[in-house]
Structure 1
Amino acid sequence: MRNLDITTLRSFVAVADNGGVTRAAGFLHLTQSAVSMQLKRLEELLGQQLLDRSGRTIALTASGEQLLAYARRMVKLNDEVIGRLTDQVYEGEIVLGVPHDIVYPAIPQVLQRFNAAYPRVKVQLISSYTRQLKDQFSKGEIDLILTTESSSDGDSEVLAKRPLRWIGAPNGSAWRQRPLPLAFCRFCTFRPKVVAELDEMDIAWDLVVETESDRTVEATVAADLAIHTMIEGMEPPHLVQIDHGGVLPDLPVQMINLYGAEVTGSHIVGELSGYLRQAFSTVSTPLTASQWHAA
């Protein structure tokens, strides 16, 4: 009697879902060689070639496709049994990546609610730029990421669509100056779009601050030395949307995308994804000052 091993089946499912050994190894927190060895052992046990390695990317053979449905069910059933009998299934760590400019107001609320429901699961929050987060996600270094992008591909789920807004100091006048003083982070994906819109309206502009620190941008804008752009509803309480009356161009809609919700097949990652979906579908106004400091 030959017996299938759940560990090898889990690796097989991870490779199928992630499209390759490298990302699967990252999500499983194993070495590439360990995953490759498990796949080889599984193929030898069944006497079938499960993966087509002839192309640039790994694909499933007909036998692999047939096994995948069974493997998913067996892994899920295994996890359900372990969870019911030991109550240890919801322990571990999830690495969540979020762009700097959409951490508030939603993410602190998500982390608080998730921790109350799953106190034994540690969520490691990484705040960076969309480009960097996607690169880390592709390497399997992050389980789940949010991005701010102008479009969505087949690998992502759109959680929200919101316009960019011009942001300035309360009662500020920097937006009336010409050249228009701008403050942006060095790797901000919004900047090229903003500059293109200004050029289209023939508005002279000057990048007075270019930094890697969001706090530096916020301080400059709060001092009314420059203006900035943020996704609607994500601005901090010490900054406001500028009511420019059409003097400045309208800015494009941005998408808040979620990557990784369906990739790992992990129930607990799916639960965190659910909290993120709910949070970004309901966020419409920024935090008050008291809520901001509490968060």
Structure 2
Amino acid sequence: MPRNLDLTAVRSFVTVADVGGVTRAAGYLNLTQSAVSMQIKRLEEALGLQLFLRAARKLALSPEGEQLLSYGRRMLALNDEALSRFTSTSCEGEIRLGVPHDVVYPAIPGILKRMSQAYPGLRINLVSSFTMLIKEEFGRGGFDVILTTEEAPDAGAEVLGSRPLVWVGGPEGRAWQQRPLRLGTGGESETAVEATVAADLAVTARMLGGLPADTVMLPADSGLPALGEMKLALYHSPRRKDEAMGMLLAEMRLAYSC
């Protein structure tokens, strides 16, 4: 008699593999850690395989787990596609998302791809700009969801965490040694700032983890002043409360919480 894999357990397995731990997966799936662990155990028992190398210092997939991960992704993609196509909960229309330039990568492309797979009829209109401009447009109703980088988020913000600001310059550059120090600032276009810094004509500040291409973090002993930290904050409009909005907010929290 044919046997079936439990898709709920498969989803837990794939999520644990994607986020790198049971605790974060539990938060993403809105389950307890023990429930996620039990689902993984049941999946291993059903297959007679060990899916994770539990002796490793960092959670890692076993060779069999690596193989199952590929199958699991395809199973879930087909399941989610079928549900979104044939059930009344499928979402259409548009969600307007605003994200600052320096934190779009690496998370946003993956989020957009997963949202598109889950809701083929939904379009997410991504706008990348400066936090000040994004917040102004959000206040006018121009965005449904925004992520900001700011020192003091407003009362309605959901603060996801904070990251240190670092000085950024060109590889093997000397611009940071020049006086007066030339700064690449937001008064210029973001592309112009990044090109100027990469060419070693100026330096700029970025959140750790959001360095532009062809730039490097300047050493702590460069003599430049400390920059402090910036908070990552999430704002969303109460006007939209559907399933797709819930998934997008969950994805943003998972990607940017720190």
Contact 2:89 2:243 in 1 (8 A): no
Contact 2:102 2:212 in 1 (8 A): no
Cα deviation, residue 86, structure 1: 4.7
SS at match of 2:249: helix
Q: Give the aligned partner of residue 105 of structure 1.
A: 106
The answer to whether residue 172 in structure 2 is matched with residue 171 in structure 1 is yes
Alignment of 1:127-166 (within 5 A): 127-166=128-167
The answer to whether residue 213 in structure 2 is matched with residue 264 in structure 1 is no
Q: Distance in 2 between matches of 1:103 and 1:248?
A: 26
Count residues in correspondence: 175
The answer to whether residue 228 in structure 2 is matched with residue 252 in structure 1 is yes
Q: Give the aligned partner of residue 191 of structure 2.
A: 215
Q: Give the aligned partner of residue 55 of structure 2.
A: none
Contact 2:176 2:222 in 1 (8 A): no
Unaligned runs of 5+ in 1: 1-82, 187-210, 283-295
Q: Distance in 1 between matches of 2:200 and 2:231?
A: 28
SS at match of 1:254: strand
Q: Give the aligned partner of residue 209 of structure 2.
A: 233
Contact 1:97 1:133 in 2 (8 A): yes
TM-score by length of 1: 0.55
Cα deviation, residue 237, structure 1: 3.5
Cα deviation, residue 144, structure 1: 0.6
Contact 2:161 2:257 in 1 (8 A): yes
Q: Distance in 2 between matches of 1:84 and 1:106?
A: 26
Q: Give the aligned partner of residue 125 of structure 2.
A: 124
| Amino acid across the alignment from 1:180 | L
Q: Distance in 1 between matches of 2:144 and 2:118?
A: 19
| Amino acid across the alignment from 2:148 | T
SS at match of 1:111: helix
Cα deviation, residue 265, structure 1: 2.5
Q: Distance in 2 between matches of 1:261 and 1:278?
A: 19
Q: Distance in 2 between matches of 1:227 and 1:167?
A: 6
Distance verdict in 2 for CA 1:252–1:262, change over 3 Å: farther
TM-score by length of 2: 0.63
Q: Distance in 2 between matches of 1:85 and 1:102?
A: 35
Cα deviation, residue 152, structure 1: 2.3
SS at match of 2:257: helix
SS at match of 2:109: helix
